[in-house]
A and B are shown apart, each in its own frame.
Chain A
Amino acid sequence: AQKITQTQPGMFVQEKEAVTLDCTYDTSDQSYGLFWYKQPSSGEMIFLIYQGSYDEQNATEGRYSLNFQKARKSANLVISASQLGDSAMYFCAMREPSTNAGKSTFGDGTTLTVKP
C-alpha cells in the first residue's frame, strides 16, 4: 500500500522568501508518480508539479520545484519568492504505476501562510 506523510501541519514564510514543504512517501513499487497540489480556501485543487520516479532531473514549474530524493523517499516542494497569494493548503500525492492520476493517494496537507 502507498502512504504519503506530510509532517508540517502549518508553515509560515515571509513574503519574497523561499519555503520548503516536506513530503515523504512509502511504496514498494518501482514505478510511480508524485504530485503537489495547492488548495485555496475556495476548495479547488490546483495541480502544481509532477515528478516521475524514473525522471533523473528534479521537476520545475515556474516558482515551484520538486526536490526528489529517491533513496530517502522524499519529494519536497520548494516555492521560491513567496507571494501573498501562495497562502493555501498544499497536498503531496502519489499515484500507482500504470494508472493515471485518478487513483492517487494524498497526504493530510500543510497549511502555508505567507506574511507581508
Chain B
Amino acid sequence: DAGVTQSPTHLIKTRGQQVTLRCSPKSGHDTVSWYQQALGQGPQFIFQYYEEEERQRGNFPDRFSGHQFPNYSSELNVNALLLGDSALYLCASSFGTVSYEQYFGPGTRLTVT
C-alpha cells in the first residue's frame, strides 16, 4: 500500500521563476492538503483540495495556487518566487473532509536563490 508520494525531492529555483510541486495521496484517500514549513518552524497550512476544488485556504498570497486531478493527485504552483518561499513543502492526504487523521509525504525542499 503506497503512502503519500511527492516529487521532486529537492528543487533549486531563481527568484522570479515559477515552480510546480506534485503529490500523490495515499491509496484510498481523496483529500489533499499542502503545507509550507520554513526552517525551524512548524508547518503552515496553504490550502486543501477535495473533489477537484479548493475547499480551504490559509493566509497565503494568490501566487500560491493548486490543482487536483480526477485521480486525486495534486499540484502546488508558486509564481514569481521570492527568497522567502524557500522551505519544505509538505503534502498530506486524508479520506473525506471530516477525517481527523492525515498522512504526510516526505516533502519537497525548495530553495530559491
Residues of A within 8 A of B (CB): 4, 33, 35, 37, 42-47, 50, 52, 91, 93, 95, 98-109
Contact = CB atoms under 8 A, between A and B. Distances in A.
Given A100-B96, A102-B92, A103-B48, A47 B42 contact: no
A43 B100 contact: no
29 contacts: A37-B104, A43-B88, A45-B43, A45-B90, A46-B104, A47-B102, A47-B103, A47-B104, A52-B100, A91-B43, A93-B42, A99-B56, A100-B31, A100-B99, A101-B33, A101-B94, A102-B31, A102-B45, A102-B55, A102-B94, A103-B48, A103-B58, A104-B43, A104-B45, A106-B43, A107-B42, A108-B41, A109-B41, A109-B42
A95 B31 CA distance: 16
Contacts, number: 76
B18 to A, nearest CB: 23
Nearest to A111: B40
B26 to A, nearest CB: 12
Interface in B92-113: 92, 94, 96-107, 109
A101 B31 CA distance: 11
Contact of A47 (B58, B97, B101): B101
Given A44-B107, A103-B45, A103-B58, A108 B40 contact: yes
Contacts of B90: 43, 45
B42 A101 contact: no
A101 B107 contact: no
Given A43-B106, A100-B94, A102-B94, A108 B42 contact: yes
A50 B48 contact: no
A90 B109 CA distance: 19
A44 B6 CA distance: 11
B44 interface: yes
Contacts of B41: 108-109
Nearest to A34: B100
Contacts of A101: 33, 92, 94, 99-102
Interface in B67-102: 88, 90, 92, 94, 96-102
